[in-house]
Structure 1
């Protein structure tokens, strides 16, 4: 939204159907970005809240590897669409020491589970990116949600930002696009260079390079 929100805080229950913020043209462009990416990455919270397919719904489009960053409990719905048989590959990156029975169950369903050392409760995002790169995934589209977006930006691994902005306001009733970064001054803000702004249907698309900190 114009005020930086990605969903209502009291979003509909899982399975209630899509509650789109952006229009069809913006969503087609998002699918085009998936088409040119090796992987599309989200957090486990996005899987629980939205049950996304993370596929490319374009004629002749190529599906990326679907990557989920999860916690030790591997708390994903058993009927999540990304776990359904017959789809594109799904990889889950989780902390070493994740629940062994959950790891075995997911691998038994054909899911690739990558275990990496955690720092505190989470894997450093740089380690997530390196683990994917070692396995040949070098172009990763980070779609969110807010926690994963913040982790990626804080790790300094984001090259480009593509932001779709709808002419809507959710105000304090919305979920922010990016979680806390611990910034205390404007001078500490992440800066975007080479900014380009265009129209895509009823929405705006904002693109630029993320300045290295």
Structure 2
């Protein structure tokens, strides 16, 4: 039974049986995987808080040829990305990124661009900076990596305002650390958010739970742009 290590982002985790957990993760080398972490609910030594959603980890995997369900032997934490959990609106936006990936990326289909886009963005999704700028560019890159890219040559035909046009064309070339310092006007933010919400829903056969929750959250008076 081959064994390997790979960097990964934890997308979700559910309890299984008396002490195990089933983990969904986006890995750097193998794409989206499902894996059982035996004894994860009882073992803090092998899984010291490493299986929480949005965590950046290194997984020690057992892989049995012919089986899609891997086994997680241990996991070490690279970053918990705790800033995401500090604000419900930020957390809900991050959940949309995760659900889009789970919905459109097949198991064991390596996609380095998807992994890099998600991994690099998560560390900057916190209420202390311009997290929406980071999130929106990450979403555009993830959609493109999944085959739903925005035709940059057609931006003007989509009648985006000049601020949004410049932000998209320039933002796709910038690192998250730079984007985290670039704010958008309330009008531009609302325009880009509406476009991305519609794009996510248009490519998905079923309603996205995370998007529905986020929509209700943003309808609350204190969260409106």
Q: Same fold (TM over 0.5)?
A: no
> Hey, which of these two has a bigger chunk of strand by percent?
1
From the CA coordinates, give the structure whose radius of gyration is larger.
Answer: 2
Which of structures 1 and 2 has the larger relative contact order (alpha carbons within 8 angstroms, sep 6+)?
A: 1
TM-score by length of 1: 0.25
> Hey, which of these two has a bigger chunk of helix by percent?
2
TM-score by length of 2: 0.24
